[in-house]
Structure 1
Amino acid sequence: MIYYAMISPVEIRELIRKQEITGPTAGMSKGFAQANLVILKKEHAFDFLLFCQRNPKPCPLLDVTEPGSFHPSKIAKDADIRKDIPKYRIYKDGVYTEEVTDITEYWEDDMVGFLLGCSFTFETPMLENGIPIRHIEENCNVPMYKTNIQCEKAGMFEGPTVVSMRPMTPEDAIRAIQITTNLPGVHGAPIHIGDPSQIGIQDISKPDFGDAVTIKEGEVPVFWACGVTPQAVAMQSKPSIMITHAPGHMFISDLKDRELSML
């Protein structure tokens, strides 16, 4: 992972396209923004655009493709969202049906791609400030949980907010809040700190997506709104088809982290 940290987004996407990288992308292309992906047919695109506008914490928009275009030209001109993510998930009528490494055969001429900011992006400034990131240390995927925090409905789309969790000392949590508040394009500040049951998480050792990580004595769980939220929303709202990234397997853009900072 340390090796991948220093490789450019273009090179990483090429390795993904060749399926030489098929795992989670945390820590890759240090200094560049990573993105969640949602692909829908045009008939559902306006409702989802409105959903993102009404729910900017879990769904901060970085780019939207033209109908039928698989090039996210605003954030990565030469990229192809059908091939440049390590793993994709296919949801049909709200049911998760399979995970694939290439979605070319599923692509239709009226599909629209939505690229949403990802919390992996703010891990670089955290690490630079001496805040350890447990899932990177343990070489696994970030833990993600469905919560009892409901998103604001838009058209057909409704459902629970999903959060990602990173355990930290209280001192590091305060610094993490300061860092991420200035990055609203990648979820901004945490939405909850401490007792998981207050947001509907009954067992923190059993994430709904990703992997469990060690929470050490004296640490508190810190929760950020997560771009996997649309997957939970798909299960509840049941669009005919929704294609997403597999949790933790992100699109790596050409956008620099600092371009998303409010500072």
Structure 2
Amino acid sequence: MTQLATPLLQQTYELRQAIRSRAHTGPTSGLATGAMQGNIVILPAEWANEFLLYCQKNPIACPLIGVSEVGDFHLPDLGKDIDMRHDLPEYYVYRDGVKVESRADIADLWRDDLVVFVLGCSFSFENALSQAGLTPRNISEDVNVSMYESNIATVPAGRFFGNTVVTMRPYTPKEAIRAIQITTRFPKAHGAPLHFGTPQDIGIHDLDKPDFGDAVSVKDGEVPIFWACGVTPQVAVRNAKPPFCITHAPGKMLVTDMLDMDLAVL
């Protein structure tokens, strides 16, 4: 993968430092434009192979872009001085599949048997959408992206199973065609949409009540477009019930030093 040019490289490093110092605690959508962002799942090593297989069986919802060595909280291939104990705006902690707390860092929870998985994020194609004049509504309204648990089943692997979580961005039908063309080029950032149009067809009954993130406005003449989301593993974790797991809080990603265009198929 290609490292960012120096000005943006400095920006991503400073953003991670701001997150580490708690100067930034909000969503990361629209920040460090051009930098790849990632969803995070941290599991004990004894669960890692099963989760790896789950990702391999579900590459659209769970596109792997990085895996740490056992016990290593650094990810040097993805960025300068990344420290997974501190560099997310918010962490979720799960015990036996139940989210028991959210916290600003996980330094006191870190264990030598933990493995970090980094999954591609749809925030990585939002820059391309914006450059094409299709700025996502969550960016223009300065809120977290809307996320919903759909009825689209993933392929089970070991103890991991569940439905796909999707993000939603509204566009007019004409804009949707262009958005589909653009995002199809980003298979490691969830690629083309899974569905567009009637939300009820995929088990979503109220766009104003997302399961994660914030609701955004849908204007007259627009239709909702749904992409797979890297929060999907949190549903699988809820179902698999590992004794211990840590994830990112939805919308609050790891910002890397890699180009989001490295996820594109040109």
Q: What TM bracket, shorter-length normalisation?
A: over 0.9
Shift of 1:6: 9.8
Shift of 1:135: 1.0
- Residue correspondence of structure 1 range 1-263 to structure 2 within 5 A: 8-263=11-266
Partners of 2:85 and 2:110 within 8 A in 1: yes
Equivalent pairs counted in the alignment come to 259
Counterparts in 2 of 1:20 and 1:76: CA distance versus 1, 3 Å: same
Counterparts in 2 of 1:7 and 1:139: CA distance versus 1, 3 Å: farther
Q: Deviations over 1:160-185 (max 9, x none)?
A: 10000001111111111111111111
- Secondary structure of 2:246's counterpart equals strand
Counterparts in 2 of 1:209 and 1:98: CA distance versus 1, 3 Å: same
Q: Distance in 2 between matches of 1:7 and 1:226?
A: 28
- Secondary structure of 1:8's counterpart equals helix
- Secondary structure of 1:96's counterpart equals strand
Counterparts in 2 of 1:178 and 1:78: CA distance versus 1, 3 Å: same
Q: Distance in 2 between matches of 1:12 and 1:62?
A: 20
Q: Distance in 1 between matches of 2:153 and 2:75?
A: 29
Partners of 1:7 and 1:29 within 8 A in 2: no
What do you get for the CA RMSD once the two structures are aligned?
A: 1.2
Shift of 1:73: 2.2
Counterparts in 2 of 1:93 and 1:174: CA distance versus 1, 3 Å: same
Q: Distance in 2 between matches of 1:252 and 1:106?
A: 21
Counterparts in 2 of 1:7 and 1:131: CA distance versus 1, 3 Å: farther
The unaligned stretches of length 5 or more in structure 1 are none
Q: Deviations over 1:7-33 (max 9, x none)?
A: 621111011001100000011111011
Q: Deviations over 1:62-93 (max 9, x none)?
A: 10000000112221242011100100101111
Which deviates more, 68-77 or 237-246?
A: 68-77
- Secondary structure of 2:219's counterpart equals coil
* 1:110 alignment partner AA: D
Which deviates more, 66-75 or 121-130?
A: 66-75
Q: Distance in 1 between matches of 2:132 and 2:114?
A: 40
Partners of 2:9 and 2:257 within 8 A in 1: no
Q: Deviations over 1:202-225 (max 9, x none)?
A: 111110000111000000000000
Q: Distance in 2 between matches of 1:159 and 1:234?
A: 9
Which deviates more, 234-243 or 106-115?
A: 234-243
Q: Distance in 2 between matches of 1:60 and 1:238?
A: 21
TM-score, normalising length from structure 1?
Answer: 0.96
Partners of 1:64 and 1:112 within 8 A in 2: yes
Q: Percent identity?
A: 53
Shift of 1:245: 0.4
